[in-house]
Structure 1
Amino acid sequence: MSKQFPQELVDEVIDNLNNPRDLRACSLVSSKWLERSRRKLFANVALNTWNFDKWQRNIPPGSNGVSAYVRSLTLRQAQSIISLEPETLMGIMDHLTSFRRLEVLLLHDVNFDDLFDGPSLIRCFGHFGISAKSLHLHGIRTDISTMLFFVSLFPNLDHLTISSPMLSKLSGVIEVPIGVLPLRGTLRLSRFWATNYTLLQGILLIPLHLEEISVTHSQIADSGILNRLIEACAPTLKKVELAHLTSGTCHTLILYRIGPLMAY
């Protein structure tokens, strides 16, 4: 009976399904339904140290399998005795390198500090930099230089989000990666403590061609640093969002400098 339906109608039905159980059922209807169902079912994948083994047992590695449908990948540190460290990721590297069409990478609560160095970051995450357009870093424990180095592994970014960073080594010289490409598109910063503003100093050391800047739910110890960030991006900047800033909030200080740009 499925042969009686135009493929466009089948695709429309599947695209409007969100329940994984329904999508799995659709994938069993016929070969015409299979690819579209897999594309929707595996578009967003979340892996942590609890379910790596399950993924390995059920999903064969290789870019020609279901891994080819993954567009958004979340890697999270689970509350277990197994930490998300280089050895853990290298154990599933055949699977990670199968995500050849990945567009969005989200890292949650990963400890870069003392676990990852430059070579291990390249081995574990460098292959994502070819296709990834959007990078989200939440609760990453690291120093500023390592953070900048990690971002430099993704030369094709048009969206960078950093929230709740746990920065170490706040003093000392910030090292900027050699030959780092300009940061383009959108930069979103949220849930910064007052001491985290030094990350903005590091960002100011790299080329910036940003079109949108968002800083929300943060404590700003030095309002001037935001002014300098906006001024550095002025030639390409189209929108600024400032909301829920405390401890020296700088709405007034910035607004008069950005002219026709939108800020709220």
Structure 2
Amino acid sequence: MLPFLPPEILDLIVDHLYNEPTALKACCVVSKSWIPRSRRHIFARVKLDTARATESWAKAFPDPSDSPAHYTRNLWVYGHGVASADVLPWIRSFRHVQKLTMTTFGPRGVSLAHLHGFSLTLKSLNLTRVCATVSEIIGFICSFPLLEDLSLSPKARDIRADGWATPLVSPKLTGSLMLYGESGSIARGLSELLDGPHFSTIWVQCNAEDIDSRTITDLVSKCSETLETLYLAYNTLNYVAPPPVDLSNASKLKHLRFQWSGPDIQWITTVIQAAQFKAPLHITISLASIRPIPPSQNFLGWHELDHLMVQLWTSHSILPKILYCIRPQEPVASLLPELAKRGFVHARVDPRLTHPVARSVFR
């Protein structure tokens, strides 16, 4: 087929179909010259979530060096089936991946060390339910020099402690960090990296199962100079507050949010008091997942927080917001009277209370 339009115009036409897989496949049969541009979008996102999907890929492209894997920018790898040694050659053929998601990478698969640096263009990494040692996880992270964004959701029983050594070289990690679950040992590993981290956004969840939550608060404090957004979700069963987070150097902080399920509201007050207010700051405290304890047990702590937030709003134009779900015997508005009077306390109906069975549980 002889093109009647310049190649640049034809490329633009194909590019406009980037999110239309059926149309892109049709473009591949129009002309051989259209195939490379169409494949760039067809294989930009690849999801291998089952052993059958893995087998289908290997069967369709038996030669890794001649597969369209080099077009892939976003790769999802799920399940133990894709972690066997016989698929390593074509896994490494995804050499231009910029975002990688991996989950259930268990002991039956290959070591993470075998996948070190398979894509030197990687900027975003999401590891979920990875069964490995701290050395393997930190070493894997440090094998990608351009890595910026990191999301980790390990399970405590799958993370095996070992006498790991800090890698000599590590990525700057200047993007976002999302840390879920029992992540104390991983947080310690990240905070000890020689060249980082320097996250601008941190979303971290501290659980009661963490042996030492100080490792998580130390990681947040170490990144305080570069932080612009901080989301702290603390869920505790033993009613012990974590160590305070040092935000005395957080001069770039713009968004500070707490999701609190601990009884000691004084912890939040301590963190806010230490924060710098050199940039416009929004402070949100979400009490959506807790039932506040009776005022007689923590009355002064709540009123101290109320006074501090109003003072910051008046003196520094800090925008506070208190969110909570309506449940029986939740006196949040009465515990924060000044904030409630100024319209900063927002109650929302808990959707679980609309279900008959849930209503009997939450009464």
Aligned to 1:95: 90
Other structure's SS at 2:63 match: coil
* Alpha carbons of structure 1 residues 191 and 122: separation in structure 2 relative to 1, 3 Å: closer
CA distance in 1: counterparts of 2:66 and 2:268, whole angstroms: 50
Output aligned runs, 1:93-242, within 5 Å. 93-111=88-106, 114-115=107-108, 120-123=111-114, 125-163=115-153, 165-168=154-157, 175-192=164-181, 195-207=182-194, 208-216=196-204, 219=207, 224-235=214-225, 237-242=226-231
In structure 2, distance between residues paired with 1:171 and 1:4: 62
1:201-247 superposed Cα distances (whole Å, 9 cap, x missing partner): 23222232413232156537666544422332234x14223055433
Matching residue's letter, 1:95: W
Change (3 A) 1:3 1:186: same
Greater Rg over alpha carbons, structure: 2
Contact 1:213 1:241 in 2 (8 A): yes
Q: Offset at 1:24?
A: 0.8
Give, as a single letter, the amino acid of the residue that structure 1 aligns with 2:38.
S
Match of 1:80 in 2: none
Q: TM-score, normalised by structure 2?
A: 0.58
The TM-score normalised by the length of structure 1 is: 0.77
Q: Percent identity?
A: 22
Asked if 1:22 corresponds to 2:14, the answer is no
Matched with 1:71 is: 73
Change (3 A) 1:241 1:4: farther
Which ranges in structure 1 are unaligned for 5 or more consecutive residues? Answer: 78-82
Using a 3 Å threshold, how does the CA distance of structure 1 residues 93 and 202 change in structure 2: closer, same or farther? closer
Are the structure 2 counterparts of residues 60 and 196 from structure 1 closer, same or farther at C-alpha, using a change threshold of 3 Å?
Answer: same
Separation (CA, whole Å) in 2 of partners of 1:73 and 1:32: 26
Instruction: Find the residue that maps to 1:73 and give its secondary structure.
Output: strand
Out of 66-75 and 201-210, give the one that drifted further.
201-210
Q: Which has the higher contact order (CA 8 A, sep 6+)?
A: 1
Compared CA separation, residues 228 and 253, structure 1 to 2 (3 A): farther
Aligned-residue CA RMSD (Å): 3.1
Q: CA deviation at 1:197?
A: 3.0
Aligned pair count reads: 248
Shift of 1:254: 3.6
- CA-to-partner distance for each residue in 1:115-169, whole Å, 9 max, x for gaps? 467xx4322x124153322211112223433322222222331221113x11337
> CA contact under 8 A between 1:133 and 1:158: conserved in structure 2?
yes
